[in-house]
Structure 1
Amino acid sequence: YIAKYRNGETPNPCGRCNRHLRFGLALEYATEHGYDFVATGHHVRCLREPDSTLSLRRGIDPSKDQTYFLYGLAQDDLDRLLFPVGEISKHAVYAFARERHLTCAELPESQDLCFAVAGRTSFLFAQSDLRPGPILDLAGNRLGTHEGLPNYTIGQRRGLGIPSGRPLYVIGIDPERNALVVGEEDRLFRSELRVVDANYLSGHPPEDQSRLGVKIRYRSPAVGATFHRDSDERFQLEFDAPQRAIT
């Protein structure tokens, strides 16, 4: 996770936490202590398909669907997981908890790197990772100084600290030069996305040239794209329309 930030990328903390910590350790504990299943409060549904594979489906509450964060699971994981709240709304879950005087009814929702109470950047990175460097425009002109690359992501506008007569956004992160590249909003749009370390919940990739609905962010609606397979762990997506600030 930290290595990806150092490489100028913006990894998803919840996806990796669910894959390696929350479910990885929970299922390991269940196995060691003789439990058959692990139940979680994720708003998703798990259904068995006609070919006997398990599929992960959106929860019925569209505002709280969490399938996006569980992309890293496998068939063996799904076979031992229970998602009891996937069939009810978040409001109904809280009402159920309040009626039974459960402490979780008053807890705030966890977000981002939820266990980093001091803040993501200070929790993860040493001061040596937060080296100031140049903020450059597309022509290579220096416009200012950034406060360490892990503080920024593609599409970011606020916090750049550079005067400009027009809005400027982060359009590139260059770890080799320790540089942040900025430009106008139209430079944020891309028609293709390359994916590495792919995980297929079904156990196998879609057919090449398959048509898919794709979400590049948790809150974003699914958009149309064509799947192009490169290898077992790599593929490309060609979007029907350019997408803004792919990270």
Structure 2
Amino acid sequence: MEKKKVVIGMSGGVDSSVAAYLLKQAGYDVIGVTMQIWQKEEPDTVSENGGCCGLSAVDDARRVAQMLEIPYYVMNFRREFDEKVIQYFMREYLSGRTPNPCIACNRYVKWESLLERSMQIGADYIATGHYARVAKLPNGRYAIQRSVTAAKDQTYALYNLTQEQLSRTLMPVGDYEKSRIREIADEIGLTVAQKPDSMEICFVPDQDYARFIRENSGCEIPEGNFVTTDGTVIGRHRGITHYTVGQRKGLNLSMGRPVFVVEIRPETNEVVIGDSADVFTDRLICSDLNFMSVPDIDQELSVVAKIRYNHSGTRAHVRRLDKDLAEVIFEEPVRAVTPGQAVVFYDGDYVAGGGTILRNS
């Protein structure tokens, strides 16, 4: 029987490297691919970028592919990454929202674009080194399932993958603890066995988002007023791209007590400041809905909802308001519901779906 062909995205890190090894051991015809997404050609600039954007990623991934004796290619996804991730990132911040570029990258670059090109070269599947699993449920639908290692679980950032994408996706490291993945890498002699994980946003290596947006958007980002929840002006802010809901540090306000960003109002260029209690809410409105383990909701859905990657989750009820609008009501208040971030719904170990936070309702 002919081997199934799988294209695996290789970042040069230990997870995708071991994923490639596991797939080969399972009998797949494995092809390694690194997605070229950096925007500048200058070697010094490119090599400074970390994670999946740097030249070191290509060097490390190529060495791993040679050691595993699998074909390896670098594919240019520069245009797709700019359109779907960088431009979205800047547009959201300029609109007073806080985006999650990794979610956009997963959906539109690591899956949509890579899958399309992989199918063109005859692949049956694509694969990644994410800590998550793909399951086909009794109702016939595909869903993302939590990984074995809870501390590294990456299901939150994968909630908006489509059924077609999931049906053609393999995630072999989701069945292992992180420590075991490093052990496997050591056992087979991979040079990346102890390579640190990349945590930052890869295209903003110094993490100065406001500077990046100012230099790359072509937009002036004017100063404006800090105001209290009742509209009283209490100071001047540096530009709305410097702030996010729930932020306490870097406000430079002498209020005699801790204060926090409660809301960002791009239409008036105001940043609203309040007390800790003002940052809590028990409901939100979300849009851009994607359902995974369930085809849709026509009645209230009971879930555990996460409002950010490192949120442990809170029990909640989801009800549809419109074709692409839902309300999430939490059983206890949650802190810093942030427009632009994802809210992801879990049914046990499975992702039921999710959406993009619009506002507190």
SS of residue paired to 2:93: helix
Letter aligned with residue 188 of structure 1: V
1:201 maps to 292
Higher share of residues assigned helix: 2
SS of residue paired to 2:152: coil
Question: Is 1:169 matched up with 2:260?
Answer: yes
Measured after TM superposition, the shift of residue 129 of structure 1 is 4.3
Structure 2 counterparts to residues 129-148 of structure 1, below 5 A: 129-148=220-239
Q: Choose from 299, 304, 315 the match for 1:213.
A: 304
- Cα distance in 2 for residues equivalent to 1:166 and 1:70: 38
Please, which moves more after superposition, 115-124 or 149-158? 115-124
Question: Is 1:37 matched up with 2:125?
Answer: yes
- Cα distance in 2 for residues equivalent to 1:33 and 1:123: 36
Give RMSD over aligned pairs. Answer: 1.7
Please, which moves more after superposition, 222-231 or 167-176? 222-231
SS of residue paired to 2:115: helix
Please, which moves more after superposition, 149-158 or 217-226? 217-226
Q: Choose from 101, 109, 114 the match for 1:26.
A: 114
Structure 2 counterparts to residues 77-88 of structure 1, below 5 A: 77-88=165-176
Aligned length: 247
1:63 maps to 151
Higher share of residues assigned strand: 2
Letter aligned with residue 178 of structure 2: K
- Cα distance in 1 for residues equivalent to 2:128 and 2:197: 14
Please, which moves more after superposition, 92-101 or 61-70? 92-101
SS of residue paired to 2:179: helix
Measured after TM superposition, the shift of residue 143 of structure 1 is 2.0
Letter aligned with residue 12 of structure 1: N
Measured after TM superposition, the shift of residue 107 of structure 1 is 3.1
SS of residue paired to 2:318: strand
Contact 1:129 1:148 in 2 (8 A): no
SS of residue paired to 2:144: strand
Residues 76 and 14 of structure 1, relative CA distance in 2, 3 Å threshold: same
Structure 1 unaligned residues grouped into runs of 5+: none
Question: Is 1:49 matched up with 2:146?
Answer: no
Measured after TM superposition, the shift of residue 183 of structure 1 is 0.7
2:201 maps to 113
Letter aligned with residue 210 of structure 2: T
Contact 2:137 2:293 in 1 (8 A): no
TM-score (norm 1): 0.93
- Cα distance in 2 for residues equivalent to 1:77 and 1:145: 46
Contact 1:75 1:203 in 2 (8 A): no
Measured after TM superposition, the shift of residue 137 of structure 1 is 1.6
Contact 2:141 2:292 in 1 (8 A): no
1:3 maps to 91
- Deviation string for 1:2-54 (max 9, x for gaps)? 22222211121211110111112211220121111111000111111122221
- Deviation string for 1:141-165 (max 9, x for gaps)? 3222212211110000000011121
Structure 2 unaligned residues grouped into runs of 5+: 1-87, 339-361
